[in-house]
Structure formats: structure tokens, C-alpha cells
Structure 1
Amino acid sequence: MEKDFEGRIALVTGASRGIGYQVAKQLGARGAHVIALARTVGGLEDLDDDIKAAGGQTTLVPVDLTDFDALDRLGAAIFERWKKLDILVGNAGMLGVLSPLGHIGPKDFEKVMAVNVTANWRLIRSLDPLLRQSDAGRALFLTSVQAQTCTAFWGLQATSKAAVEAMARTWANESRQTSMKINLMDPGPTRTGLRAKAMPGEIPENLATPAVVANDLLELLRPDVLETGRLFDRVSREWVQR
């Protein structure tokens, strides 16, 4: 396998399963040192085994993304060891309940916003100085078409992903005078546990696998990507504005 990410330091959230697992695995196999964040220790250990088998290296960080103090400390720990960060993949996210907005409980709303929005902001706050130290810092956040369609009963997903899109684009505009590139990707329907929970009637075999999605995602993390503040629709395979 081509080692086109050799020497890069990459942080991936939600790395213990699904798309995040495959992104981390492929980055490690292609030469990056992967800092893998997730709550599930067993999944992180499996990832570590896979990456080591491919000749790569990982640093496992078992953490709940709502432990904001831990996210604040993360930047300092990375600086102490590597002095920089080359890649940030904000993959972790929660679906939350599918419900009319007025029926969503405050705790459910606050939990989804904490994981999908606030955690990503805390990561930006913690890691922005490190990405600026890279010769080609790249950040990519996963989003959903619900941010645009605002489908009935999908209010938590729509609201949180719209906030992520606004946040990523704002950060990109604030970083235009640097070598950093910050973008978004809508992976489309993917064979993940989150998708199965939301759409239990779907036939999984008709959906893209996390490995296929991850392979496309990695192309947006390369140093030669010049787009910033944009959204890539993996299904249409085009940069789109919404």
C-alpha cells in the first residue's frame, strides 16, 4: 500500500467503529501516526492491532467527547510530543432521538449538541495552534444532508449538523491566510450502526461500506487539496455549496 501519509500526525474521533475506524485504519496503513479517540476501549484495541499489522503506529485515547477538560488537555499533550498536528477528522457524532422538536427532552437535546457541536468546537480551540504548525494542516468534519433538508422528526440531526457546517466554514474563513484547509464531507447512506438505528428497514448490502467511504475521505486530507470551507458530497462526487 502506498505510504502517502508517511510522517503525518492524524487525529480521528469516533475511531472505534464505523467510518472513523476505517479512516484511522487506512491512515495508519498509509503511513500516518494515528491518534485515535473513542469511548470504547475494545474497539480501540482492535484498531491498534489492525494498524500495527499493517506496519503503522497509533496512540489510543479512550475518552468521552463530553469530557471537555480532557479535550482541552489533548492539545497540550500533542504539542509536548510532536509540536504539531497535520490532520483532524471530526467523525464522531450522535443521531439522538427521531421525534417532533417539541417532544425532545432537554437532556437528549443537550447530549447531542454536546457531542456533535460543542466537542468539535473544543477540539478546534485545542488543536488550531497545532494545525497551524503543520506545513499542510487539514481538517475534515462529517455532516449530513439533514442540515439542508430539515426533514420532519430529524431536528436534532439537522440542527447539530447545520451548526457543524457553519462552524467549519467560519474556521476556514478565519484561516485563509494560512496553509490550513478545512472542509466538510457528506458521506451519504453508509452501512453503520447509526444508520441501521435510524433506518431499520434498509437493506445493508445496498449501502456503501465504511471502508469505501473512508478511502474517498482520505483523498480530502492530502496536502495537495486546495479547497477550503467547502462541502464534498460523496454520492455526487462533487464539491457543493449549501
Structure 2
Amino acid sequence: MSDVVASVHDLHRTFADNHVLRGVDLEIRTGEFVALLGRSGCGKSTLLRIMAGLDTGALGQVQGGREPAVVFQDPRLFPWRRVLDNVLLGLRGRDRAERARTVLGEVGLGDRTDAWPRQLSGGQRQRVALARALVREPDLLLLDEPFSALDALTRISAQELVQRLVEAHRPAVLMVTHDVEEALLLADRVLVMEQGRIIHDERLELPRPRRRDHPEIVRRRVALLGLLGVHQDSSVSA
């Protein structure tokens, strides 16, 4: 049996005269964490939305996962529902409340089940969004720049949390990000997209947890920034 969870083959997507995706081929396997880098407008989020089943206008072959779940930059919580109810939304099964409480505990919000979204910080709201995705035990987790709206310290904490959650639940992951360092710290594979095509695909055989100042992380960071058109020293972030 194939361990490919999600794939696209010869994928094209056009909006009016704008050819956003141009023959994309990609496979993501069980438990694999793939980060997708690229400049704004290169087609990253369009590819993610297609794999999530949110955009059905593409041409080509798409296998988006049996149970995909998506976390966006905006947590998209319902402000009139408490934290637990937001996580329970659409969830089925007699043990659904127990499952939701368990996952909220995993993201560090076991004591905030009755809170309203407005009572939470930005980082806490994003943790609720992660809990809402993971409680469904997805085989494919799609992350669309989930940390980009967070401050630097909260972002580091959120990255560490996602790493722990992915190791515990083992979904296949596709994460769209502009942050090269984030990709290198979290992913098993790093892809670079340019003008609707994947132009670079590298595997990271590096032990975890990874350090930002590790020589191999620094070397690859500089190389990836170069692919993205940023030719500066290793202290610059994309």
C-alpha cells in the first residue's frame, strides 16, 4: 500500500489571464512535514487551498488527503462561541467533548474551555485553531502561514508547540510560509515555488530539536534566501 497521503500531478490553475500554477507535481507521505517557500503571489496559498478542497477550479490530478484539516493565518474562531464549542464545531462522535478537552489540554488551554475568543491573546486563539484541526485526527494538516500575525516570542512558542503536536499526532503536513528559518527548523522537506512552479525540493536530514545557529541551518538558510532573491548575510529573514 502506498504511503502517499496527498499529491498533485500536472496541476494548473488560472484566474482570468493569470496562470497561477503551471504544471505542479508534489507528493506528501505519511508523517512527512513539508514547508513551501516562495515570494508573494507565486501560487503557494493557491496550491494549499486546492489540496484542502477549497478551490475546485484547477486542472490536473489532485489527491488531497482522506481527512484534511486547515489552519489559516487568521484563527477564524466564531466570537459568539466559547473555546470548547469552537473546537467541537462539526465534530461527531459520542466522545467528542472528551476528545476536544484532551486536545485543548495538549495545546495548553485545558483551563480556558469556557473562555470567549475575545478573552484570548492572538497566540491562544491560534492554539484553539490548531486544536480544532487536530481533534479530527487529520491525515493531512495544511498550515497557511499560521504564525505570521504573531509577535516574535509568541511565534517561537507556537513553532515549538506545532513541532510537538506533529510528533504526537503524525499527520502529513504542508506548511506555507515566508520564513526560511521557520521552514528549516520544522520541516523534513523544503520546497521553493516561483511563478507557479516548484523549482527546488530538498530533504533535511537534521536531528531535532534544531538550533537556529547550527552551522548547517545557517548554510541552508543563506542558500534558500539566495533562491528567493535575497542575497544578504545570514541574519536576514525572508
| TM-score range relative to shorter protein | 0.3 to 0.5
Q: Which has the higher strand share?
A: 2
TM-score (norm. length: structure 2) = 0.37
Rg (Cα) greater in structure: 2
TM-score (norm. length: structure 1) = 0.36
Higher relative CO (Cα under 8 Å, sequence separation at least 6) belongs to 2
Q: Which has the higher helix share?
A: 1
